[in-house]
Amino acid sequence: MELSTVWFLLIAVLWTGYLVLEGFDFGVGMLLPILGRSDTQRRVLINSIGPVWDGNEVWLLTAGGATFAAFPEWYATMFSGFYLPLLLILLALIVRVVAFEWRSKIDDDRWRRRADRALIVGSWVPAVLWGVAFGNLVRGVHLGPDHQYVGTFIDLLNPFALLGGATTALIFLSHGAVFLALKTGGEVREKAATLAARSSVATLVVAGAFAIWTQLAYSSVAWTWAATAVAALALLALVLATRRRREGWAFVASAVAIVAAVVLIFGSMYPDVMPGLDPANSLTVQNASSSDYTLTIMTWVAALLTPLVLVYQGWTYWVFRKRISAEQIPAHTGLTFSG
């Protein structure tokens, strides 16, 4: 197997890690106004992901860096063509970080409400726009003979891509609800479990439609039907597990559905990394990749460092594995942030 193909697969793995882990982070933020009726309940939701959310974002940084190093032309074309949606995602993620870090710095209800709104917006925008971006990567975009994007922002808002945005939003919403049912206790847990049972049905319908459309219209290989089948079975298992309040199995099912969706997306794209509506202008793993020497060095670095990162992140989840409930949330101290 050529190193360019290996790195295409590794980038798919990095996106899988990001979407599975950051997916429930987004879901928790999206559910803040629904499940967090009081400040204490909102703090339960935020504290459920407090120790891990920033570590989950490392997967995105690594995926972006790997794309830049392994496929510089893909990186350049994607970030120039998708400039506005990616800028909106970046701004939303920055706003989200600020909301996480500064919410408790000032003991003022209005300040906390503003931080909560920023957290909600910072979760919903990426949850939708990542799906829109991946939908366009599967469908293909307007590329010129020089492999540069020649379409408009409106071209990116086609029906297939918008369905992709609805799919990721619903998957993350259900993923977050299941995570809260697994991670929290008391009233928040009960409300999250009830919402997960309802949202999983909508997720099954919308994600199923997206997967079938992808397979029928844009996949050129038969084996991606296996990914479609796995995604469908996982979403069906999610519906059944949430109805039976089997939170652990429900979380596994939603995670498997996301993994299968990534396999379907990247499998449908290959051997292209950025398909063009005119196939002659497509960027492929061959014409967009770095030199073999660069890829070889990257492979050695990844082989040495990746296990350390995985061990550290796994240890973090193990340390903070216990449930959190309203009884464990201390009262506000009244301290203010003077910096």
pLDDT in tens, the chain (339 residues): 789 999 999 999 999 999 999 999 999 999 999 998 888 889 999 999 988 888 888 899 999 999 999 999 999 999 888 999 999 999 999 999 999 888 888 888 888 899 999 999 999 999 999 999 999 999 999 999 988 888 888 999 999 999 999 999 999 999 999 999 999 988 999 999 999 999 999 999 999 999 999 999 998 888 999 999 999 999 999 999 999 999 999 999 999 999 999 999 999 999 999 999 988 899 999 989 999 899 999 999 888 888 888 898 889 888 888 888 877 777 765 433 333
Q: Are 115 and 102 in contact (CB under 8 A)?
A: yes
Q: Are 19 and 175 in contact (CB under 8 A)?
A: no
Amino acid identity, position 71: F
Amino acid identity, position 276: G
What is the distance between the alpha carbons of residues 84 and 320, in angstroms, rounded to a whole number? Answer: 37
Residue 285: per-residue pLDDT: 92
Identify the CATH number of the domain defined by range 3-293.
1.20.1630.10
* Alpha-helix runs per DSSP H in the chain: 3-30, 32-35, 39-49, 53-56, 58-70, 72-81, 83-102, 109-139, 159-183, 186-217, 224-243, 247-269, 292-319
Phi, psi at 161, each rounded to 5°: -65, -40
Collapsing DSSP to helix, strand or coil, 74 comes out as helix
Backbone torsion region of residue 313, taken as left when φ is above 0, otherwise alpha when ψ lies between -120 and 50, otherwise beta? alpha
Q: Are 237 and 205 in contact (CB under 8 A)?
A: no
Q: Which residues contact 314 (CB under 8 A, 6 or more apart)?
A: none
Instruction: Tell me the domain boundaries of the chain.
Output: 3-293
Residue 337: per-residue pLDDT: 33
Collapsing DSSP to helix, strand or coil, 155 comes out as helix
In this prediction the pTM is 0.92
Residue 332: per-residue pLDDT: 61
